[in-house]
């Protein structure tokens, strides 16, 4: 009898707030995860053999006429024919790439 009373008393004193558990689970599900990277990379498009500089390196477009590069942090410009041009003016696609059309080269710059 005393054992039954002790079990009954223990079960009454334990409170479980299921509402709080469900609210906490909903709060975790409602959290939006975002990536801090807005531009993943650039696709430079132009004439085969055309050269440009990005992030301190010089690149030459292959026969296909385009080259894809992973974005370098805090680099927002590229250089071509001694001019620095912005990269962030071109629209981003659904994968985070920007297609950058290179300016038409002069005949002199292609033969050098």
**Percent of the chain whose predicted confidence (pLDDT) is above 70:** 64
Q: Which residues contact 111 (CB under 8 A, 6 or more apart)?
A: none
Domain assignment of residue 16, yes or no: no
What six digits make up the tokens of 96?
């985070």
pLDDT at position 59, please?
A: 96
Q: Do residues 59 and 51 lie in contact, with contact meaning Cβ atoms separated by under 8 Å?
A: yes
pLDDT, tens only, 17-40: 666 666 766 666 666 767 676 789
End-to-end alpha carbon distance in the chain: 103
Q: Which domain holds residue 48?
A: 41-111
Domain assignment of residue 32, yes or no: no
pTM: 0.62
Question: Measuring CA to CA, which residue among 23, 25, 65, 66 is closest to residue 48?
Answer: 65
Domain assignment of residue 7, yes or no: no
Domain assignment of residue 45, yes or no: yes
Beta strands in 7-56, from DSSP E residues, in sequence order: 41-45, 51-54
Into how many domains does the chain fold? 1
pLDDT at position 16, please?
A: 60
Q: Do residues 81 and 102 lie in contact, with contact meaning Cβ atoms separated by under 8 Å?
A: no
Domain assignment of residue 70, yes or no: yes
**CA dist 77 to 42, 69, 84, 90, 102, Å?**
11, 13, 6, 12, 12
pLDDT, tens only, 89-100: 999 999 899 999
């Amino acid at each position: 009898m005393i054992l039954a009373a002790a079990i009954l008393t223990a079960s009454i004193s334990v409170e479980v707030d299921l509402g709080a558990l469900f609210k906490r689970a909903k709060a975790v599900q409602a959290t939006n995860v975002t990536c801090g990277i807005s531009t993943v990379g650039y696709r430079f498009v132009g004439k085969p053999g055309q050269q440009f500089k990005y992030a301190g390196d010089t690149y030459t477009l292959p026969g296909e006429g385009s080259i894809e590069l992973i974005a370098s942090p805090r680099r927002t410009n590229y250089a071509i024919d001694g001019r620095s041009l912005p990269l962030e003016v071109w629209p981003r696609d659904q994968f985070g790439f920007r297609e950058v059309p290179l300016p038409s080269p002069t005949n002199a710059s292609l033969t050098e």
